[in-house]
Amino acid sequence: MFHIAITVGYLYLLWRFVWRLPLSRAFRTGMAIALLFVSEYHLLLTWVFGNMFSPEMPHWAILITSGAFCFFVLLLLLTLLVDILSVTWRCITKRSCIQYLGRWQISLFLTSLGLTVIGVHQAVQVPQVKTVELTLPGLAQRYDGTRIVQLSDLHISRLFDSSWANKVVEKTNSLNADLIVISGDLIDGTVSNREQDVAPLQRLSAPLGVYASLGNHEYYFDASRWAEKFTQLGIKVLINEGTLIGDDRFYLAGVTDEVASNFELQGPDLDAALKHAPQGLPKVLLKHQPQNALAVSQHGVGLQLSGHTHGGMIKGFDYLLGFFNQGLMSGQFLIGKMTLYVSNGTALWNGFPIRLGVPAEITEIVLRSSKIPKSTI
């Protein structure tokens, strides 16, 4: 479906943009061929590497090729936007603006190119720390102010390699948080290809431990082997299970990703994850995808930490992607009596590495206990 949609987008761009350029036929033909290869970038990766998630190419090559795909997407989106505005203008004024199209096309090309350079540059930086205060109902007053660092969607790969991972680990450890959690999609690639790149994660350290849940990308590259590898690195992977944090601070649970069943592995099982949660103790859940949060809230979970969406990557584009994520794209949501926090991600998939108005984040979460109303007696 993904490749079909991309092909349709390419044909639309060919019809509405390329052939209408006020340039020579040879130039337009060359651009059409170039855009064809760029638009089918992920299909070519599948043919060459066997998947489109982990191209084992040099860092610079991924930047150029995936950046070119980002340019294609931006050019397509801007062309669609101009066409919608043109139709609207014609319906309102009964006049065509066709005489301006040539000028608009050159501007769209340059705008798309400029936004691509800016967006890709922003996407590959080590993110800033974002501090948020979240209420955890039932948290004892003596634990008010407990700090958790949430990492999500690290997507460690040839693009986000060991050098980048080292910097993220250093910045995370410098926060001196009580607990570190990683809400899925830690990697892109096999254990043998990523072994050196994930090595810096072994230095993550917090008094109450380092925990993770698995994301969909782990399942694309043998989730069981990756769970073993993360364990070797000192990261406790919660696979439909939970554990007490600080004896009586709260119960931390983690579930598998929805795609697990596609690989004949156990899908998310909230009942199993919460089976040993002590009565009355607040519950925190690590779940990669934020969907179905209402059902989670009905299991007595007070706080769910998720990622997966990358925040939509491009401001405005997040509203479109929200249709596929139940509108739960970025930030804090109150679902029933549960707080859901969806991280923009610490990195993102190397197949579309762009951020415009949606910054990556290392999230510092300050837990607050529920406010107890004053007695009227």
CB atoms within 10 A of CB 169: 19
Tokens of 63: 């930047």
CB atoms within 10 A of CB 170: 12
- Given this model, what pLDDT does residue 102 score? 53
- Given this model, what pLDDT does residue 82 score? 85
Per-residue pLDDT of the chain (377 residues; tens, 9 = 90+): 888 999 999 999 999 899 888 888 999 999 999 999 999 999 999 999 999 999 999 999 999 999 999 999 999 999 998 888 877 767 777 665 555 555 678 889 999 999 999 999 999 999 999 999 999 999 999 999 999 999 999 999 999 999 999 999 999 999 999 999 999 999 999 999 999 999 999 999 999 999 999 999 999 999 999 999 999 999 999 999 999 999 899 999 999 999 999 999 999 999 999 999 999 999 999 999 999 999 999 999 999 999 999 999 999 887 777 777 788 999 999 999 999 999 999 999 999 999 999 999 999 999 999 754 333 33
CA–CA distances in Å: residue 252 to residues 32, 121, 166, 298: 52, 35, 26, 16
- What are the backbone angles phi and psi of residue 376, rounded to the nearest 5°? -95, 0
Note the CATH number of domain 128-369.
Answer: 3.60.21.10
- Given this model, what pLDDT does residue 377 score? 32
What's the rounded Cα separation, in Å, for the pair 241 and 135? 23
Q: Which residues contact 97 (CB under 8 A, 6 or more apart)?
A: 86, 89, 90
* pTM of the model as a whole: 0.93
Question: Do 283 and 248 meet the contact criterion of CB atoms below 8 Å apart?
Answer: no
Question: Do 235 and 199 meet the contact criterion of CB atoms below 8 Å apart?
Answer: no
Strand spans (E) along 142-298: 147-151, 179-183, 210-213, 236-237, 241-245, 250-254, 283-286
What's the rounded Cα separation, in Å, for the pair 164 and 182? 16
- Given this model, what pLDDT does residue 98 score? 53
Where in the sequence of the chain do the CATH 3.60.21.10 domains occur? 128-369
* β-sheet with 179-183: strand ranges across: 128-136, 361-369, 147-151, 179-183, 210-213, 236-237
**What Rg do the C-alpha atoms of the chain give, in angstroms?**
23
Q: Which residues contact 258 (CB under 8 A, 6 or more apart)?
A: 216, 267, 268, 289, 291
